[in-house]
Amino acid sequence: MHIPDGYLSPSTCAALYGGILASWYLCLRRLKRVLLTRVVPLISVFAAFAFVVMMFNIPLPGGTTGHALGVTIATIVLGPWGGVLATSLAIALQALLFGDGGITTLGANCFNMAVIGSAVAYGCYRLLASQAPVGSRRRIVAAGVAGYLAANASALAAAIELGIQPALFHDSAGAPLYAPYPLKIAIPAMMIGHLTLAGMAEAIISAGLVAYLQVADPALLRQTSGLGGRDLGSTGSLRRLWATVALLLVLTPLGILATGKAWAEWSASDFTTSNTRAQITASSGNQTPPPVAPSGLQRMASVWTSPFPSYAPAFVRSAALGYLLSAMFGVGICVFIALLAQERLRARPRLEQDS
């Protein structure tokens, strides 16, 4: 679901950057400043959680892979505004450091997974869990359904963005300039795997974590419960959440057991490699891809070179160890950003008093 550079036209990228920048601005405005010093640590832990969860690849029909998002549980605890920021932070780190998703398409990926995912998760959860006690079983079911719908809504948005490219952007001969497959191929290719397995993974994670928090720290579920109160937990809450992230972190090497790339995440060179071409064809309704990557895709694919592409640091020989170190580095960056933001927020009142 992480759209790489070159698959969307510059105008599509610009429009979706506009959408995500407006969304980030709105989110920051809606999170009241008096709560920011308490929200920032939670945003960082859920950003780290989403970062790690998205590293667990799941084999999907057609030989491709997918993953859960982690956006649903972030939204249930933080609300839609915090959910958008936490998920966006994870997606931005993946693109900048590991080449998982593009830089030109960062706005699109954040809009699809963070904004649409969070909005659908929040709306569904609030609707299905309306007025139910925080510890009720209905909230577990609501979280599962919200997770399933959020993952599929995000996937559908990406499929539509990819599928409209050939119709809108092509050369004089009609050859696509960016993503090569139209809507009639893009939507089934993307949605079959998410309607079956990837969406269920998000549902299970969301429902399981709500069930866990109902026992371990129900205060974290009050923010979006609709029952009143804005309890964001305590230091103990953060410790428990970080322990969950640490457990997943240790297990991240399992994420490379599933082979095959996600649909429409092929590099420009993959279009000329026989084995990969066969996989592209099989996962795209048996429609053969163009003999070479579309010209616009080739041109934009090299916009950004990440320092640790594919979560595989060049100085580490073991793929599993490299994957684990990449996860640790990504989580560490989330912690660093949170500490930096907290320090700035604490310093601002002092500066205002001094002035």
Nearest to 142 by CA among 236, 45, 241, 73: 73
Structure tokens at 235: 């230091």
Sign of the Cα torsion 106, 2, 78, 349 reads negative
C-alpha span between 177 and 89 (Å, rounded):
30
DSSP code, position 177: S
Cβ contact 193:64 at 8 Å = yes
Closest CA to 74 of 59, 96, 89, 94: 89
| CA–CA gap between residue 9 and residue 351 (Å, rounded) | 44
204: containing domain: 10-354
Read off the CATH number of the domain in which 312 is found.
1.10.1760.20
The answer to the question of residue 75 being in a domain is yes
Instruction: With respect to residue 320, please indicate whether it lies within any of the assigned structural domains.
Output: yes
Residue 340 tokens, joined: 């930096």
For the chain, what is the domain count? Answer: 1
14 in any annotated domain: yes
Give the distance, in angstroms, between the CA of residue 49 and the centroid of all CA atoms in the same chain. 10
For residue 352, what pLDDT is reported?
52
pLDDT average per 10 residues of sequence, the chain (355 residues): 97 98 93 70 94 96 92 96 96 97 98 98 96 95 98 98 98 96 97 96 97 93 77 71 92 90 94 94 95 96 94 94 96 91 72 53
Query: How high is the pLDDT of residue 35?
Result: 63
Output the pLDDT for position 61: 86
Rounded distance between C-alpha atoms, residue 62 and residue 66, angstroms: 11
pLDDT at 198: 96
Tokens of 14: 């610009």
User: Is residue 5 included in any domain, yes or no?
Assistant: no
- What pLDDT, on the 0 to 100 scale, is given for residue 233? 58
Within-domain flag for 137 = yes
Could you tell me if residue 167 is inside a domain?
yes
The answer to whether position 4 is within a domain reads no
- pLDDT at 259 (0 to 100): 80
Cβ-proximal residues to 107 (8 Å cutoff; 6+ apart), any chain = 13, 16, 17, 18, 19, 20, 21
Q: How far apart are CA 50 and CA 68, in angstroms?
A: 8
Residue 6: which residues within 8 A CB-CB, separation 6 or more? 102, 104, 178, 268, 293, 294, 296, 297, 298, 299, 300, 301, 303
Give the pLDDT of residue 166. Answer: 97
The answer to whether position 1 is within a domain reads no
Residue 301: its pLDDT value, please?
94
